[in-house]
Chain A
Amino acid sequence: MESLSGMTTADTHCPYCALQCAMRLSAGDPVTVSGRDFVVNGGGLCQKGWTSAELLAHPDRLTAPLVRQAGVLRRATWDEALDRVVAGVRDVQRAHGRDAVAVFGGGGLTNEKAYALGRFARVALRTATIDYNGRFCMSSAAAAGNRAFGADRGLPFPVTDIRDAGAVLLVGANPAETMPPFLRHLPGERLITVDPRVTATARHGALHLQPTPGTDLALANGLLHLAITEGLVDEAYVAARTTGFDEVRRTVAQWWPARVERLTGVPIADLLATVHRLAAADTAMVLTARGAEQHATGTDTVTAFVNLALALGLPGRPGSGYGCLTGQGNGQGGREHGQKADQLPGYRRLDDPAARAHVAAVWGVDPDDLPGPGPSAYELLTAEKMRALLVFGSNPVVSAPRAAGVERRLAGLDLLVVTDFVLSETAALADVVLPAAQWAEEDGTMTNLEGRVIRRTRLRPPPPGVRTDLEILAALSGRLGAPVSARPREVFDELRRASAGGTADYAGITYERITAEGGVFWPCPAEDHPGTPRMFLERFATPDGRARFVAVDHRGPAEQPCADYPLYLTTGRVLTQYQSGAQTRRIAGLPGRAFVELHPDLAGRLGIADGDDVAVSTRRGSATAPARLSTAIRPDTVFMPFHWGGAARANTLTNPALDPVSRMPEFKVCAARVALA
């Protein structure tokens, strides 16, 4: 193994978000963290990164497998735990069929692990039932990107291009809290934000559009309508590099400014200013994130913003473009290599016979033995026919929509196996908990929000009793009669072969090149290929090389406020926490607790004072947290961060209405009522 044990430092990247800030870890007790100069973070870290090493020696850390006996999780040996898993899997598959065993992965897993997990499901378990939490994160942007450009790389350009852009439209993103060092690349004086809340990011920008939750698609169509009526369309680009504009033109003709203003609440003057600033700049960008994407209409909403970018001639032009800000640490790589329900490594499609043949050859199996596409994340987690579930790198009891239902479903399984390094809310329900290594204890690669493949480097081995995810997968595979390597480099080399010729082609990327070149951008089909920092400059990845306009229309949220639930509830993130909070909530240096943000006018009418415990209720249930009064939010909307479990769990409330294309749940808007608890 390429362990760096023995060295006192490791140059690696932050364990949290997709920005993957470069950091140097120094061995000792405690391990210390320092920012490392790298083009993405310029040596900067936010407080999540600075405190990340606190979890390495945390008392909550799991250091032995746990097996449920007589209803209680008790320490067990690895053999006992692994035997229990394999016996349980075999029992379920014998009685209920292969697909009754499900696998749920995560967007924080390294490329090697995401790849190995997909192979494990399809070759060792031979189940079609695998998906991952990226479905809750990147799926709408991915679907829209594939539809428009024929490929989905979150940012098809280096992050530094954003810093130099003449105008940036940032839709539904709050990087000032979710990935603070990203603001080094975000030119405030040239930034236009779209968010129902006046976030720290909105304050950083020059113009803020504050739409009604669930109206982003109409907003985008309205902006394109104005781009047309103001004569700002790049007709030459549209003619040369795209198809399908005529139908889009007709659709957005119905989104005249007064209609858009009334629906969204965004003044026409601000809509006009937005399109003029985007069109007047030499280079401009349209960027989306979860605020636009986590809707039952998320794919179409992103498509509407892509249409705007295409009409203005931005994608595939140096310094301009459309991009999405990926969220999870390996949200990019994690969606490329086969832990997704419909996918094989290299961003290949599982229903494509040529892709099946290629990957089956790498795996040494018959293509006909590979299962077909399976259900998407929420459908998987709630499927009646599922009897066993293996979870890696995810905490769906906190992060899935309508989480109380998911929690009940998981508690009723014949077998629930969770691999994690702390006893997360999901792990607490498990029959078997397998203690996993943390980022400082393993090697591998991550693919950051730019599509840049970077190295995660090991500082020291895991503590006794703890194994890496790859070792766990290899042990289970071996017991199931399909042995694989647990060595990151060997797994990566296999991934390279499996991805060769695919959309996300890693064939030419090596650990050595990554270290020498400061990362390599995919696609990189050969070792003498320089990688691809900027995609689409010559042609898009569609069969005819042109980007595709797709006509999309506003449909609105699945749930509208009504007499019983008169408010919009939207959910999101805060600076001091990461995703389901299983890691960050345990870190003393990261303060914070759950809250309900609401406008003082709304609070006044409800008799709620700052700090009062308030109950937020939706058709799915209720959650309780202290009120935080703020004029930064619309008076018709309340906000809850989703990082907490238990009574303050925001996802108890969220609506599992799914996008018809991406199967993304509608995390960002539902109807709610609020009262003093």
Chain B
Amino acid sequence: MRVVVAGYGMAGARVVSELRARGADVTAFGAETHRPYNRVMLSTLLAGKVREDDLTLAAPPPGADLRLGVPVTALDLARRVVVTPEGEQAYDALVLATGATAVLPPMDGVPAATAHVLRTLDDCRGILAAAGGARSAVVLGGGLLGLEAARGLAGCGLAVTVVHAGGHVMDRQLDPDGGHVLARTLRDLGVCVRVGARATAWTGDRLLLADGTAVPGDLLVVACGARPDTALARAAGLAVHRGVLVDDGLRTSDPHVYAVGDCAEHDGTVHGLVAPAWEQAAALADRLTGGTARYRGSRLVTRLKAGGIDLAAMGSVAPDPDAEVVTFADPARGTYVRLVIRGDRLAGAVLLGDNPSVGAVTQLYDRDAPVPADRRSLLFGRAFGAEPAAPAASPAFMPDHAVVCRCNSVPKAAITACWRSGARSVADVAAATRATTGCGGCADAVTGIVDWLSTVEPEVTV
């Protein structure tokens, strides 16, 4: 069976790798001539922390027929061929991985030389070139991508203002309290935030807002989302809503055509993230090679961890009278946690700032696993209730059964007994009990107990 993949970005490349790993014949067409790159890393590139070369995705397992620089220009579903400038290519199964394009809002003055989107490597190069001679920047859109761009530009030394239409930044992921803590964190990092602001025009050095005010900036970065690239699918007559409609088998309205990634719409959702695209790629490759995997949707985790911002958001944290809500806020330190629990499962979570539990919370949500009986462990990242005893401040407070020397299983009681039998030094205790003779780590503790015994039981003699 010949699988043809139209589009060789992160999703298309993943489909090729997954198919090759299973031994399938695959031909992939990509409009760009360069190897696919890791779009997740664009903001890291913007922040100057990696070089362009580091964005290149690893080559797929050998044997794939890659046609880079050759775009698919049309589909002929009846004859099962794709049309390219090089001619036609027949398929048994066709995978659309055409991705998405950045949205430019309907606004005067855009596009312009000083206005950029951040979607592709070329976009990133353009922004970096412009930032080199700039002192300030405006970012339109306070979602994940906008904030990543703002953080990157601030890191380049620019004064940055984020202009956001919603009531608080990242309003799709965060509750208002969380949004406010995040805005405060951004302010501390030199990023101003204007919320509830509707932009009307870009003048080339100012963003005009509907309330009559203006935000000055040497460049504008537009981060207003992306729109699925569905032109090929529409032209061929496939069912398209916002994206190309697919079922749990990633199949479109044509039984020989599939779609994955940013161009696909599954169960009413178009994902703009890599993780769902890769999950779809794995499921599809399995099905195309005889498996029965089904794609049932993805659990989305939004993660922002760069230059002073530490944010994880997942699921829904919207008010819900049936849900149990656990919150913790320490605004002075920029720490905020909101957990929404239904039954004993995590329905959503926001974690901002230094939260050691972030990995555990993410995995609980990811797996839909039961939350701990003591919710505090999800706030503070440590177990409560049965923690092993900390070293006692004084040997007097140490229980008799407390193990002093692990290597030789010597409890405090054995050392006390040893003292009462006449031992008067650490060496005596070591000889009699073997305490301190393993790793030696309890030497101070044994010394402390011997000193304490000599104080409280000085009269004991043998």
Chain A residues with CB under 8 Å of chain B are 35, 42-47, 50, 176, 180-184, 188, 200, 203-204, 212, 228-231, 247, 249-251, 253-254, 256-259, 261-262, 264-270, 551, 553, 575-576, 591, 599-601, 604-605, 629-632, 635-636
Contact = CB atoms under 8 A, between A and B. Distances in A.
**Most chain-B CB neighbours within 10 Å: which of A176, A230, A262, A632?**
A262
B363 A265 contact: yes
B56 A267 contact: no
Contacts of B305: 257-258, 268-269
Nearest to A209: B359
B57 interface: yes
A171 to B, nearest CB: 17
Contacts, number: 147
Interface string B431-445: 000100111110000
B50 A43 contact: no
12 contacts: A42-B440, A46-B438, A50-B408, A204-B441, A229-B44, A250-B58, A259-B40, A259-B275, A261-B359, A267-B357, A267-B358, A604-B373
Given A182-B439, A253-B50, 5 more contacts: A47-B407, A181-B439, A256-B40, A257-B305, A262-B275
Interface in B402-450: 406-409, 434, 437-441
Contact of B356 (A204, A253, A269, A605): A269
B155 to A, nearest CB: 13
Contacts of B369: 635-636
Contacts of A47: 407-409, 434, 438
Contacts of A265: 359-360, 362-363
B317 interface: no
Interface stretch (B134-142, B156-164, B328-336, B380-388): B380-388
Contact of B58 (A254, A256, A258): A254
Contacts of B358: 261, 267-269
B406 A575 contact: yes
Contact of A44 (B362, B409, B439): B439
B408 A231 contact: no
Given A45-B438, A180-B439, A269-B354, A253 B55 contact: yes
Nearest to A553: B58
Contacts of B38: 253-254, 256
B386 A600 contact: yes
B20 to A, nearest CB: 13
Contacts of A270: 356, 359
A553 to B, nearest CB: 8
B339 to A, nearest CB: 15
A600 B58 CA distance: 43
Contacts of A188: 441
Interface residues of B, number: 49
B41 A253 contact: yes
Given A180-B439, A265-B360, A636-B369, A253 B57 contact: yes
Contacts of A629: 386
A228 B58 contact: no
Q: Choose among A229, A270, A591 the residue with the greatest number of B CB atoms under 10 Å from its CB.
A: A229
Interface in B268-304: 275, 301, 303
Nearest to A177: B406
B407 A551 contact: no
Nearest to A602: B370
B49 interface: yes
The 8 closest A-B pairs by CB, nearest first: A183-B439, A631-B383, A258-B303, A180-B407, A265-B359, A180-B438, A46-B407, A46-B438
Contact of A631 (B363, B385, B408): B385
Contact of B303 (A176, A254, A261, A605): A261
A177 to B, nearest CB: 8
Contact of A184 (B41, B366, B440): B440
B54 interface: yes
A551 B381 CA distance: 33
A175 to B, nearest CB: 8
A231 B54 CA distance: 12
Nearest to A259: B275
B41 A601 contact: no
A591 B359 contact: no
Contacts of B49: 229-231
Given A46-B408, A261-B358, A631-B383, A601 B58 contact: no
Given A230-B49, A576-B409, A258 B439 contact: no
B275 A261 contact: no
A650 to B, nearest CB: 22
B205 interface: no
A188 B310 CA distance: 28
A43 B437 contact: yes
Interface string B344-365: 0000000000111111101100
B372 interface: yes
Contacts of B367: 636
Contacts of B355: 267
Nearest to B54: A253
A35 B437 contact: yes
Given A228-B54, A253-B55, A258 B301 contact: yes
Nearest to B21: A555
Nearest to B47: A229
A180 B406 contact: yes
B55 to A, nearest CB: 7
Contacts of B383: 599, 631
